[in-house]
């Protein structure tokens, strides 16, 4: 057990929230109003924990299972854990939740008049991950992103009081794009979990076999496939970028950071000649800041 795992076992709430520092994008940056930061961290705690349950990344010791009322010998049953987590989510809206991260979420839900739907979507995405390991078409993947990614952007808009139908549409484009970018970065990691988020129809089109994805480095066919999917993600980011110009102040900086982070990640993938198999290509802070400036100026 690592030091982080030990800390999580002692304080699951703090252990989960500490993971925010390792995310690809700032969760609740310092320049936001304190009230927004508090509520965004509460939403993050929920999203991080449900993903950790779905990925089997909970700290050893079964602390989260005990908090959710799951017997210790069933803590590795991800579907059971997700069911228990969903039950505790409902207590956020009509009672007192058991898990401290959901108790943290309850005041945010009341302050921001949040509804259960986006939270239920994130749980459904992780439940789907236990049952579906391959996606036949791009539309199938988009439907998954509707559950796994788009609720996060909708919650950001709800917390900041800026939701409109048009902003939600643009937010969905950004969040879906960011989810696809993450899938491209994590091809090898996902395959180790027996998951492939590259559409099967596209793999056939580019003559890519599953065994090709298990290689130490990508062959020409895999690189062409990754380039194709990256172009799709970039198009979605470009469509969604109009969201940034529709808001003002510090929220505009936050949203520009999301778009810039996606573009910088795509730039790193391109710089690696679309070989993502050795591990996620990383972009530097200078590249990220440059992309943020481009987004804020509305130049691309």
Entry pTM = 0.92
pLDDT-derived band of residue 283, with 50, 70 and 90 as boundaries? confident
128-143 pLDDT, tens per residue? 999 999 999 999 999 9
Nearest to 240 by CA among 154, 115, 143, 116: 154
Q: What average pLDDT does the segment 152-175 reach?
A: 98
With a CB cutoff of 8 Å and minimum separation 6, the contacts of 194 are 133
CB 111 within 8 A of CB 98: no
Task: Round the average pLDDT of the chain to a whole number and report it.
Answer: 93
262-298 burial: b if 16+ Cβ within 10 Å, else e? bbbbbbbbeebebbbbeebbebeeebbeebbebbbee
- 6 pLDDT band, cuts 50/70/90, is low
34 pLDDT higher than 80: yes
User: Could you tell me the two tokens for 51?
Assistant: 């993903």
- Whether residue 155 has pLDDT greater than 60: yes
Neighbours of 69 (CB within 10 A): 11
Q: Is there a contact between 245 and 298 (Cβ–Cβ < 8 Å)?
A: yes
Residue 3's pLDDT is 47
pLDDT, position 294: 86
So what's the pLDDT on residue 8? 54
pLDDT digits (tens, 9 = 90+) for 47-81: 999 999 999 999 888 999 999 999 988 999 999 99
Distance CA 66, CA 99 (A): 9
Output the six-digit token pair for 107: 């005041």
> 3-class DSSP state for residue 281?
coil
């Amino acid at each position: 057990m690592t030091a982080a795992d030990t800390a999580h076992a002692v304080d699951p709430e703090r252990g989960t929230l500490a993971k925010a520092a390792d995310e690809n994008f700032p969760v609740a940056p310092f320049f936001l109003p304190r009230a927004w930061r508090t509520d965004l961290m509460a939403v993050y705690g929920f999203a991080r924990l449900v993903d950790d349950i779905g990925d089997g990344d909970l700290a050893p010791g079964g602390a989260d299972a005990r908090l959710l009322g799951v017997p210790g010998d069933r803590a590795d049953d991800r579907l059971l854990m997700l069911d228990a987590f969903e039950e505790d989510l409902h207590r956020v809206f009509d009672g007192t939740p058991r898990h401290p991260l959901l108790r943290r979420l309850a005041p945010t839900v009341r302050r921001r008049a949040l509804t259960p739907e986006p939270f239920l979507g994130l749980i459904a995405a992780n439940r789907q991950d236990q049952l579906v390991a391959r996606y036949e078409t791009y539309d199938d993947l988009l439907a998954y992103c509707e559950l796994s990614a788009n609720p996060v952007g909708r919650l950001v808009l709800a917390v900041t009081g800026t939701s409109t139908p048009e902003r939600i549409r643009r937010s969905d484009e950004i969040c879906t794009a960011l989810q696809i970018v993450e899938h491209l970065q994590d091809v090898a990691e996902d395959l180790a979990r027996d998951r492939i988020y590259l559409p099967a129809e596209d793999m056939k089109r580019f003559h890519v076999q599953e065994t090709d994805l298990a290689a130490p480095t990508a062959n020409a066919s895999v690189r062409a496939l990754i380039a194709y999917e990256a172009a799709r993600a970039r198009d979605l980011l470009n469509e969604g970028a109009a969201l940034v110009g529709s808001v003002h102040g510090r929220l505009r900086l936050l949203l520009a950071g999301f778009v810039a982070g996606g573009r910088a990640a795509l730039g790193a993938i391109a710089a690696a000649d679309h070989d993502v198999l050795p591990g996620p290509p990383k972009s530097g802070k200078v590249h990220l800041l440059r992309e943020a400036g481009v987004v804020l100026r509305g130049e691309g």
